[in-house]
């Protein structure tokens, strides 16, 4: 199937967690980590997040500056969105909401609603909206879904050695620890930038196909 080239970006604690229990907003990385996040957004035609991540982080999914803004795409099983969320009241790229559950999601003014599978949605973005590069910013359940489809081409990672979260229910890069992925996925390290003064390390892994 035709789909965009897909990248992901996450910061993890020293023990491999992407957040605490209950989930805390992003932003516990350094300023350099945040700047990297914005740089990665600039190369994308569309941004993708899960509804839970959107709700916790209160993100508007925009790129600073006056250039073209990427599409803002959100995935939810239930399709229950908060109309008061900043996403729906902040200028930016067109908003597309995907509901993957049995029933169509709620209609939100100013947003285009979709109902179906994640794979079909990504194909539609490529075919109908000329999305060549899509960048996913989590959370873990959504990244796991992309990994199960083997749709991740570039995995950007910040290892934040200055944080240690712990917690059995704390999510990792592929969701709450439990079942393993159905198959192994081979990646190669294409970027390694150690920043000991920040207690962080920036890495990029590219899928070997």
Report the candidate in 126, 122, 77, 81 with the shortest Cα–Cα distance to residue 102. Answer: 77
pLDDT value of position 70: 97
CA pair distance 41, 133, nearest whole angstrom: 10
CATH code assigned at 165: 3.40.430.10
Q: What range does the domain containing 25 cover?
A: 5-207
pTM of the predicted protein model: 0.91
Q: Number of folded domains in the chain?
A: 1
DSSP structure class, residue 189: E
Question: Across-strand partners of 172?
Answer: 175
H helix runs in the chain, sequence order: 31-42, 51-57, 118-129, 140-148
Whether residue 136 contacts residue 73, with contact meaning beta carbons closer than 8 Å, is answered with: no
41-86 pLDDT, tens digit per residue, is 999 999 999 999 999 889 999 998 868 899 999 999 999 999 999 9
Sort 152 into a burial class: Cβ within 10 Å, 0-12 / 13-18 / 19+.
buried
């Amino acid at each position: 199937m035709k789909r965009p080239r897909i990248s992901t970006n996450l910061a993890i604690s020293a023990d491999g967690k992407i957040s605490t229990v209950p989930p805390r907003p992003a932003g516990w990385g350094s300023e350099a980590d945040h700047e990297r996040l914005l740089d990665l957004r600039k190369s994308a035609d569309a941004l993708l997040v899960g509804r839970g991540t959107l709700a916790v982080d209160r993100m508007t999914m925009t790129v600073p500056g006056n250039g073209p803004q990427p599409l803002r795409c959100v995935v939810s099983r239930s399709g229950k969105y908060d109309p008061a969320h900043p996403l729906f009241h902040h200028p930016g790229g067109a908003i597309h909401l995907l509901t993957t559950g049995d029933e169509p999601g709620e209609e939100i003014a100013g947003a285009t609603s979709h109902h179906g599978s994640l794979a079909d949605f990504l194909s539609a973005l490529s075919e109908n909206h000329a999305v060549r590069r899509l960048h996913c910013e989590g959370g873990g359940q959504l990244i796991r879904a992309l990994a199960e489809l083997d749709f991740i081409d570039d995995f950007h990672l910040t290892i934040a050695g200055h944080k240690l979260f712990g917690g059995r229910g704390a999510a990792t890069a592929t969701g709450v620890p439990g079942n393993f992925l159905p198959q192994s996925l081979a990646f190669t390290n294409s970027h390694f930038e150690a920043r000991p003064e920040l207690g962080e390390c920036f890495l990029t892994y590219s899928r070997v196909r």
